[in-house]
Amino acid sequence: MMMKTELIRIYDPAEDAEGVLRAGDILAHGGLVAIPTETVYGLAANAYDEAAVKAVYAAKGRPSDNPMIVHIAELSALPELVTAIPENAKILAEAFWPGPLTMVLPRSSKIPLTTTGGLETVAIRMPSHPVARAVIRAAGVPLAAPSANRSGSPSPTTFRHCVDDLWGLVDAIVESDDCTVGVESTVVSFLPDGTPQILRPGAITPEEIQRRCGCVSVAEAVLHMLPQDAAAPSPGMKYKHYAPAATLTLLCGSREDYAARVNEYYETLQRAGEEDGFYAMCFDEDVSLLEAPTISYGVAYNYPSQAQNLFDVLRQLDQILTKPSKKSGVVVRVQTFGEFEVFVNNKPLVWERKKARELMAYLVDKRGASATTAEIALALWDDDSKIRSVQTIISSLRKTLRKAGVTDVLVKSRNRTAVDVSKICCDLYEFIDGNVAAVNAYRGEYMSNYSWAEFTNGHLYHQTFHRFEDS
């Protein structure tokens, strides 16, 4: 059975004071609450409580070495969370707090390493959203709050996105107004000479920081992928971020060039009878120029509006483009409780390679989120350098599925692979949806043949425990 998730309505902290107190009480007692900020919705937990923070990692499917941002409501809370505050940090706090700026500073002993992803630094920001600040005050503790989505998918900017991603996985979701900024906070650290260094681009631009501090640096990892064995000092630097499940292609050029290229490509698809499932993202003004189906994310040159709409549009495209295929008569059933098995039309799948079976299990566990070849190598071999081995295993998995008549379950985009969850029946997904048969089928074992599955199993056991506790 799903964890009992409560929907708490808070639009105005003063008028909805009871909801504020309820959310704060859940957080103070180790629970998880999705709360709005001006940037995106965050999945909040007591930053001091290691068990609560671990539950956030489990609910999101987030790698444990991906640091979390700690949220505070008042500047006066900062000194006890860090051991040093550079002069430029004070200048930026004065200029941009409360607001969409996160600063990475040396952590104090009050912040556990679980919250920082094992780092001796802590990322801290003060949100400007009145509901977020009211809930932090009500909780009485700083809140660790990464984006309230499954790890890797587009960030949530409405409470409905949180319901889609996290219902049954968290204690409560706050219903409130949509996020106004729509993209994540800018993250900065400070070089030994005090120069601010951008670790993750966001709502606050480099130019704005430079105007206050006289200088600004941009970390190499912003422009180039961080090595898999390197520690990520900021969220968004190492692992996939903001990615939709649908295949997305970016075109560079003028709006006229974009329209011409899209129309040409769409015409090619039409001639081949393959135009179904193709959409073009565009500005409002460009809809009439495009022959293909379109979805707009705002008015041209209105960048704040585009930022606010972007993640919502990506999610809309996922909903449109990941519907089950009407052409396939093949039924794929996945068993995760006990040992992992795949059945095609009620017959067990015969695996060409053991690692191909494990790869399928790993992708099922990610519940539609894609994995890079490096992530897969780390999970299957504990060695992220085995890229060639991963490619071999992906090919083997595709071959095995094709032999069984399954051609639409795997989703491949460049170096990322995922399963299309709409194309399979799975006891794990049914458990999360509250299906009684799936709930009763769980006996404390989940993909027992794979050690990496213990994390999810712990979360399932936690949900089951709560179910019996509540009954």
- Is the CB of residue 322 less than 8 Å from the CB of residue 420? yes
- Is the CB of residue 26 less than 8 Å from the CB of residue 33? yes
Q: Helices 373-381 and 354-365 sit at what angle, rounded to 10 degrees?
A: 120
Average pLDDT of the chain is 86
Half-sphere exposure of 327 (CA within 13 A, CB side): 5
CATH number listed for the domain at residues 332-470: 1.10.10.10
Residue 303 neighbours by CB distance under 10 Å:
10
Q: Which two tokens stand for residue 142?
A: 């700083």
Beta bridge partners of 8: 174
Report how far residue 23's alpha carbon sits from residue 37's, in angstroms, rounded to the nearest whole number: 14
> How does pLDDT run across 294-321, given as a tens digit for each residue?
888 888 888 888 888 888 888 777 766 6
- Is the CB of residue 149 less than 8 Å from the CB of residue 156? yes
pLDDT > 80? residue 420: yes
Please state, for a pLDDT cut of 70, what percent of the chain lies above it: 90
pLDDT > 60? residue 471: no
Report how far residue 41's alpha carbon sits from residue 44's, in angstroms, rounded to the nearest whole number: 9
Interior CA angle at 91 toward 90 and 97, to 5°? Answer: 80
Half-sphere exposure of 143 (CA within 13 A, CB side): 38
Extended beta strands in 201-346, E state: 217-218, 280-282, 294-296, 332-335, 341-344
Report how far residue 117's alpha carbon sits from residue 315's, in angstroms, rounded to the nearest whole number: 28
pLDDT > 80? residue 148: yes
Beta bridge partners of 348: 343
Which residues of the chain form CATH 1.10.10.10? 332-470
Q: What is the largest CA-CA distance in the chain?
A: 67
Residue 251 neighbours by CB distance under 10 Å:
11
pLDDT at position 469 is 47
> How does pLDDT run across 185-238, given as a tens digit for each residue?
999 999 999 999 999 998 999 999 999 999 999 988 777 665 655 666 666 655
Identify which has the larger pLDDT, 286 or 462.
Answer: 286
pLDDT > 60? residue 466: no
Nearest to 228 by CA among 106, 102, 381: 381
> How does pLDDT run across 41-74, given as a tens digit for each residue?
999 999 999 999 999 988 887 666 678 999 999 9
- Is the CB of residue 48 less than 8 Å from the CB of residue 110? yes
- How many Å from the N-terminal Cα to the C-terminal Cα in the chain? 11
pLDDT at position 468 is 45
Classify 6-182 by CATH class: alpha beta
Report how far residue 77's alpha carbon sits from residue 216's, in angstroms, rounded to the nearest whole number: 26
pLDDT > 90? residue 102: yes
- Is the CB of residue 232 less than 8 Å from the CB of residue 210? no
Task: Name the DSSP class of 451.
Answer: G
pLDDT > 80? residue 380: yes
3-state secondary structure of 30: coil
